[in-house]
A and B are shown apart, each in its own frame.
Chain A
Amino acid sequence: MSITVPKVRVPYLLLFPGFAFLFTFFILPIFNLAQTSTQSPIVGGDTAQYEQTFAFSNYINAFVENREQFGRSFVYATLATIFALAISYPLAYAIAFKSGKFKNILLVLVVAPFFTSFLLRTIAWKQILGEEGFLVPTLRNLHLLGQQTTITSTSVAVVAGMTYNFLPFMTLPLYASLERIDPRTIEASGDLYANAITTFRRVTLPLSLPGVVAGTLLTFIPAAGDYVNAAILGSPNTKMIGNVIESRYFKIVDYPTAAALSFTLMVAILILVTLYIRKAGTEELV
């Protein structure tokens, strides 16, 4: 059997567009970001004029000054991920196993909100949670909410908005992995005298874990860097690291600090995700 040289090259040729894309739009910008992150203002220079001084202290300053927002980002993202999982799992389960002929309609309904802009959906939440929405007056009448207490401009609103906005990212991978479960394994579990809870715990849940891992990653990663929800639904006391980066870049025109913060965020997420995947395993990640 002779393998001709061109055939060996085929895989590389196929990979080329992907590599070229990643190089141009990922590697180069990352390099640029790293370069910017260690610059300092030119002495006597004007706004937005920086020079390379390898000021690694930028990282320490950026982190120390904004540790509160870093912490908040991870707490909010974790909460949003947990809530999204709690909502999505039963939803995905119902669609996969119990929806019958409505399966496709339900799936479309999960995705449908994505046809409108992320921003508009978040603004809609502002209306829902606002003073003149139905929720706040109802809760007040039930005395579950004080007359002066509001929901918008609180961390509750920010986490709620994040949970909602990232819900489909959780639901779809969960659905995909639940749907692939062979019903016969569940039947077999019943045949072996496992009750419903045991079957779920020992059969369904383990088989759906790849979906859980994928869903939590797809939710947590963008949620940690999100700043739209905090900007629209939050207050100065709920700012996340994304808001700080935005303000550093655009408002203060402090590109080095903005770059250092972005890098720190990226590395922090990378470490967390690596630890998580190590623990959860990726072999069956969809």
Chain B
Amino acid sequence: MALKRSLSLEARSILGAGISRRAVLAGAGGLGAAGLLAACGGGGDDQSAENSVRWGNWPLYLDFDEESKTYPTLVKFSEATGIDAQYFEDYNDNDEFFGKVQAQLKLGEDIGYDLVTPTDWMCARWIRLGYTQKYDLANIPNHANILDSLKSPSYDPMRESTLTWQGIMSGFGWNTEKNPKGIHTLDELFAPQNKGKIVVLSEMRDTIGIILLAQGVDITKVTEDQFMNAVDFMTKKIADGWIRGVKGNEYAEDLTSGDATAVIGWSGDMFILASENEGKFDFAIPESGGTISGDNLVIPSTTSPAGKVNAEKLINYYYDPVVAAEVAAYVNYVCPVKGAQAEMEKIAPELATSEYIFPTEKTSSRLHVFRSLTPDEESVWAEAFQQAQGN
């Protein structure tokens, strides 16, 4: 961790270590190539063995020890249970991962993972298509530890087959030298000093969600007209030269290189940027509200019965507040586990009050979840959003 923190962003991206869980090169911004290359590497062995579990997760999304090159919490899990936990940082992008495993899921062939970590809306799709398995809750007693606010998402009201891995807030990030007063409204984002230097997220629900909220729309009930209206707003801002890019995590590189001065970005990335650059960057939830989403632990329909039990044991382990606090201290995203904050007091008191990891009631009340879309909406809205970015 020390090494990771001390390298510059450029150096890390060159080393391929990435700068956030959203992957280096293959951010949702449309650069599938890196992901495709990684995809060729695939998951683990051909079949899930009796005594192992293969977990595909986003990069930089689990505590990692630079010296021993291991994941401390995962090592402890393997030692305690005797289960060989194989960890693959190759879930780079929701769409790309779906494109990669969809055909096998459809045919019921092993996809190389016993546990994967898709974002909410992608979980909704997996559940709809029957690509998931329901948990055996007897194996996950810690199931009850999930935060009340995350307990019943619309796509899985009882949390029968998904549990949040980490929560992600999106809001405004900015360069404090160019924006000394900070950015709290959409008008402040589109201020003259940022013209041509604004980057927004390629996650449709985050970028359009924040625009919609600024327009006074309730994103839990958004209609197609309202959505298209917000897309038009974005299209115009691109055409007029305000927005220079629509990207995945690469916006962080643009901020450090000076190519971007203001962004719609993710909390965890901005936390790292702020802590690495001595106050040169800051992040805030917009006054009109920000979005929150989660990445979830999901057992694919193709996982063997033995693999499923092992995956459930793993999920249970990470829902132990002690373990959850250890992970949160490293990844800096919103921790979904009750009791982790108290545990954090013991290991890193300064993080126990971090709004990035444990948002207060007041902050949480300003965070909204984009509503679930029907399959038709999913493709029509995605098409509009892609066309707005010139695709």
Tell me the A residues contacting B by CB distance below 8 Å.
41, 45-48, 69, 118-120, 123-124, 126-127, 130-132, 148, 150, 152-153, 227-228, 231-232, 235-239, 243-244, 246-254
Contact = CB atoms under 8 A, between A and B. Distances in A.
Contacts of B31: 119, 227-228, 231-232, 246
B375 A123 contact: no
B68 interface: no
B258 A246 contact: no
B183 interface: no
Contacts of A244: 391
Interface residues of B, number: 46
Contact of B390 (A130, A152, A237, A252): A237
User: Is chain A's binding surface mostly helix, strand, loop or mixed?
Assistant: helix
B99 A249 contact: yes
A228 B238 contact: no
Contact of B196 (A45, A130, A148, A252): A148
Contact of A246 (B30, B98, B244, B246): B30
B10 A127 contact: yes
A47 B125 contact: yes
Given A238-B390, A243-B30, 16 more contacts: A41-B379, A45-B375, A120-B14, A123-B14, A126-B253, A126-B257, A130-B258, A153-B245, A236-B245, A246-B30, A247-B391, A248-B386, A249-B32, A252-B379, A253-B382, A254-B379
A127 B375 CA distance: 40
A215 B34 CA distance: 26
B17 interface: no
A260 B386 CA distance: 18
Given A45-B375, A251-B391, A237 B238 contact: yes
B391 A239 contact: yes
B29 interface: yes
B159 to A, nearest CB: 22
Contact of B382 (A126, A238, A252): A252
B391 A153 contact: no
B45 interface: no
A131 B258 contact: yes
B274 interface: no
